[in-house]
A and B are shown apart, each in its own frame.
Chain A
Amino acid sequence: MKAESTILEGKLVSIGYTKSNSTNILAESLSFQLKKGKLTCLLGPNGVGKSTLVKTILGQIPSLSGDISFLNKNINHYPAKSLAQNISVVLTDKITGGNLTVQQLVSLGRTPFTNWLGKLTPEDNKIILDALKATKTYYLKDQFISEISDGQLQKVMIARALAQDGNLIILDEPTAHLDLVNRYEIMHLLRDITQEQGKSILIVTHDLDIAIETADELWIMQCGSPLLCGTPEDLILSGGINQLLPNEQLIYDPGLGKIRPTQISSYPNIQGPDHIKQWLKLALQKNHIQLPDDLKIEIKVSPLTFNLTKNQSTQVADNIEKTIQLIQQLI
């Protein structure tokens, strides 16, 4: 049962580059199991070897030791064409094929399946149209790719990977340099693809928040540590997620659901509702303000006021900016 639910498995894989007699090992003893039909996010700092791991999985560079098997068969034993029929990618490379229409670009995904001339069968065309519809880019199909936005292009690239119709899609930073809305849309699109079409997806990303929100599984890669795998929820509760933050000054706060400084002033002199207090504290922290013991702040809602009391005299501000200015005058 376990063998069936795993599509890609790595056992004690070492990755890196060999260059005339010297080897540069980037990461050692990586073991992982990519679960079938799940969305997995690979996180880690720059330079830790995420892209190299992806290249190794794709068989573009050899692993230095260990095995990577895809559907229980060593990845290096697949001929190039059959690997292309099984794994498709979305890379960070810039696409400049200016004279291609969106539909032609997506059609290129059928390359491993077509004859030597690249002739598309009616079945190929159906797969292409389905991929366009699944990524909600059907309306763009006759536009040239130089005429669409970055976010649209990224969806089209995902459509192309879908049209390649393998079991596994690997995406290298698909949401980098996209705006917030597009990031969410693309990650949710990928999530829908895993759930509706049963494809397995591996995403290399730096977007921790969105990864936690959408991924079924996280792989955390950190220099000198083995690959840490698990559901995002479990990794948060066990504190494993902090492996992403080697810096002692930062910590992932399970309560807040985000990263915050380890040392946080509690500001006991502030009184008021938590959801407002939180933002005032943030502003104080940003300005490196330590409140003196004799300065008391009381927050009142409706209307929103901040009452600052020091030596029996009270001053009132109606927003945080003014509050900070008053505090700076008082201390």
Chain B
Amino acid sequence: MQASKKHTSLLIFSGSFLVLCLFLINIAVGSVHIPFNELLGALLGNPMAKTSWNTILFEYRIPKALTAIIIGISLSLSGLQMQTFFRNPLAGPYVLGISSGAGLGVAILILGGSAFGWNVANNAGNYLTWGIWGVIISGSLGAIAILLLMSLTAWKIKDSMTLLIIGLMFGSASGAIVSVLSYFGNAEDLKLFTIWSMGSLGGISGIQLYILCMVCLAGTIPVLLMVKSYNAMLMGERYAISMGVNIKTLRWTMIISTGLLAGSATAFCGPIAFIGIAVPHLARMVFRTGDHKILFPASALIGAAFLLASDAISQLPGSAETLPINVITSLFGAPLVIWLILKRNFSNEF
């Protein structure tokens, strides 16, 4: 027991160190080459050789890296909550349909633009200044709308499995409306929406980053309060009830927490695939525990590290092009998880 505790703190420590390293690597790569010693100097407060580097570093790369950390944490934490609450290894942040709601909001904004007579982007396909805010706000409104619908449902029904299925149905229904909008949308809008739906960590800075950070912090607090209940849920709902866990409270905090975490992540950065489902499994396999006191921080660390690394790779070092983040998370993440699953007996881990 003592040995495994030491083992865990070592893993947590090296995880934090890994996140720090990946953060540095992440801000070091990009289309403009900035020497590494200049970069470290700038972080310690020294002026940089070129002012343009300063702008790139502080107004683009660091906000993007911080966004990657926040989104990585948000999606992993909501995924872990969903998997434990529903006792389903395939559950992820998207099962309650909240992200699909965000997608629907953004689709109405972008694809409905021509119908309602507004433009979120100029002819070159870059967002107008209000466009980014518009996307964030419409995404949030969509997520909140689905969250309210889900809450109404959760109030009526008692069974968790039914909740899961209804969440998936809300997701499909939103997806169908998005399809209708896409069908009638014009080509430029469609491209803009497709790019949004591939996820992007860039473009969030200043006040937006601050808001994202606050919302995610607010979404993390319920997780911390419910650690003990999530551990009891490992044995299933009926045992949890027999140990004094109030399943209603747990369900509401779970809905609110994932609503805030996954909803804001999707509204700000688009639906980022893979992290929410895979990272909790990675955390379980690496830390070999079911204890949520360890799993929550572990998932947060792995999620942050994973998204920082993916983002660094998506910069295609040495090239001016960047790939969409979703491509990287799935392309590199899927083989990693397959390898882990084959190496360990996965069905025993969950």
Contact = CB atoms under 8 A, between A and B. Distances in A.
Contacts of B350: 96, 98-99
B228 A144 contact: no
Interface in B225-246: 225, 227-228, 231-232, 234-236, 238-239, 241-246
B349 interface: yes
B207 interface: no
A96 to B, nearest CB: 7
B347 interface: yes
Contact of B348 (A80, A81, A109, A146): A146
B289 interface: yes
Contacts of A114: 228
B7 interface: no
Interface residues of A, number: 35
B293 A118 contact: yes
B228 A93 contact: no
A108 B231 contact: yes
A60 B239 contact: no
Which of A108, A144, A146 has the most CB atoms of chain B within a 10 A radius of its CB?
A108
Contacts of A117: 227-228, 293
B290 A97 contact: yes
A40 interface: no
Contacts of B245: 80, 111
B247 to A, nearest CB: 10
A84 interface: yes
Per DSSP, are chain A's interface residues mostly helix, strand or loop, or mixed? Answer: loop
A99 B243 contact: no
A91 B238 contact: yes
A108 B241 CA distance: 12
B1 interface: yes
A108 B227 CA distance: 12
A93 B239 contact: yes
A112 B244 CA distance: 6
A95 B237 CA distance: 11
B79 to A, nearest CB: 16
B244 A98 contact: no
Interface string A96-107: 111110011100
A116 B243 contact: no
Nearest to B228: A118
Contact of B349 (A60, A98, A105): A98
A58 interface: yes
A91 B232 CA distance: 14
A207 interface: no
A89 B289 CA distance: 24
Given A60-B241, A118-B293, A164-B243, A93 B231 contact: no
B38 interface: no
Interface in B202-253: 225, 227-228, 231-232, 234-236, 238-239, 241-246
A111 B87 contact: no
A144 B348 contact: yes
A114 to B, nearest CB: 7
Interface string B140-180: 00000000000000000000000000000000000000000
Nearest to B242: A89
Contact of A103 (B1, B228, B288): B1
Nearest to B284: A99
B291 interface: yes
Interface in A38-95: 58, 60, 80-81, 83-85, 87-89, 91, 93-95
B190 to A, nearest CB: 44
B236 A95 contact: yes
B236 A93 contact: yes
A202 B349 CA distance: 33
Contacts of A146: 348
Nearest to B349: A98
Contacts of B236: 93-96
A112 B243 contact: yes
Interface string B286-300: 001111010000000
B239 A104 contact: no
A142 interface: yes
B349 to A, nearest CB: 5
Given A93-B239, A99-B284, A117-B293, A80 B232 contact: no
Given A111-B228, A118-B227, A99 B293 contact: no
Given A111-B243, A118-B293, A146-B348, 20 more contacts: A58-B242, A60-B241, A80-B246, A83-B244, A89-B239, A94-B236, A97-B290, A99-B284, A99-B350, A100-B290, A103-B1, A105-B235, A108-B232, A108-B235, A111-B231, A111-B232, A117-B228, A118-B227, A144-B348, A164-B243
14 contacts: A80-B246, A84-B242, A84-B244, A91-B238, A91-B239, A93-B235, A93-B238, A97-B290, A99-B288, A99-B349, A108-B234, A111-B244, A117-B227, A118-B293
Interface of A: 58, 60, 80-81, 83-85, 87-89, 91, 93-100, 103-105, 108-109, 111-112, 114, 116-118, 142, 144, 146-147, 164
